[in-house]
Amino acid sequence: MVIPEDRSIYDLTVKELLGRPLNDVEQKFAPNMLHIKGSMETPLLSPRVSIVGSRKASAEALEHSKMITKALTRIGVVIVSGLAEGIDTSAHIAAMEEGGKTVAVLGTPLNKTYPKKNFNLQQEIMRNHLAISEFQIGQPTRPKDFVLRNRTMALISDVTIIVEATDESGSRHQGWEALRLGRPLFIWKLNFNKPEVNWPKDMLKYGAIELSDPEDVLESLPSSRLPEMLNLLS
């Protein structure tokens, strides 16, 4: 689905979006420019956590995604995800239901929606939250654009959590990118109950962490907000 050109879209570099210089590793694959629409203040506030996973997620994983998202939203975390079906959609909606903020990083230009069923969700995010794309209006969408979208999500997030994914899931790309950037990567416990899935064990070897309680993410978030967030939990 395509919406008309919107003059309220504006452009920022990743450095401007995050409000800080990029290090050499971050700069290597950072998009030259990001196209932005929404009402959230930029530079983005911290902390920001990506919650991602399978488009064809199990019912159990969707419930866990909602629980993780709401637990983090209640302590002031901005939820980042990719507007895909399944885990992504669950995370965006749960953040909004909890009264928090969410950022959608798109694999399409901002005037397109994929999947089409998320048109209304994307419009809500562009009105009251923030949508980001590295793809210019009019640029054709290619399968690899969704891989690039995951790379950008890892870059703008302080932490990534993979809730559920298969060995073919695009979320794996974000996991490896988070590790390459030196960002904390958490893998939700459900993934370790599936002997047919190999990627979690591979990522553990490179520093990923098994997650069974959302509060365990706290120690990996920017330290400047930690006292405030701990007070919210008490």
Q: 64: helix, coil or strand?
A: helix
Cis-peptide into 115, omega within 30 deg:
yes
Per-residue pLDDT tens digits for 75-107: 999 999 999 999 999 999 999 999 999 999 999
pLDDT at position 43 is 95
Per-residue pLDDT tens digits for 94-149: 999 999 999 999 999 999 999 999 999 999 999 999 999 999 999 999 999 999 99
What region, left, alpha or beta, does residue 206 occupy, with left being phi > 0 and alpha being psi -120 to 50 degrees?
alpha
Q: How confident is residue 225, by pLDDT bands cut at 50, 70 and 90?
A: low
pLDDT at position 134 is 98
Beta strands of the chain (E only): which ranges? Answer: 10-12, 34-38, 48-52, 78-81, 102-105, 130-133, 159-162, 185-188, 209-211
**∠ CA(78), CA(55), CA(114), 5° rounding?**
80
Q: Which residue has the tokens 């098994």?
A: 210
pLDDT at position 3 is 42
Reading the block at residue 80, the tokens are 């980042």
**Residue 201 pLDDT more than 80?**
yes
CATH class of 10-221: alpha beta
Q: Which residue has the tokens 């920001």?
A: 48
Alpha-carbon distance values, 110 to 15, 146, 154 (Å): 20, 14, 19
Mean pLDDT of 54-58: 95
- Distance, in Å, from the CA atom of 103 to the CA atom of 129, rounded to the nearest integer, reads 6
pLDDT at position 223 is 64
- Asked if residue 93 lies in contact with residue 121, where contact means CB atoms within 8 angstroms, the answer is yes
Domain-by-domain residue ranges, the chain? 10-221
pLDDT at position 116 is 96
When the pLDDT of each residue in the chain is averaged and rounded to a whole number, the result is: 92
Burial 158-191 (b: 16+ CB within 10 A, else e): bbbbbbbbbeebbbbbbbbbbbebebbbbbbebb
Q: In sequence order, what are the residues at sequence separation of 6 or more whose Cβ sits closer than 8 angstroms to the Cβ of residue 135? A: 35, 106, 107, 108, 109, 141, 145
Lowest mean pLDDT across 29-33, 74-78, 125-129, 166-170: 166-170
- Provide the CA 111 distance to its chain's centre, in angstroms: 20
pLDDT at position 4 is 41
pLDDT at position 45 is 83
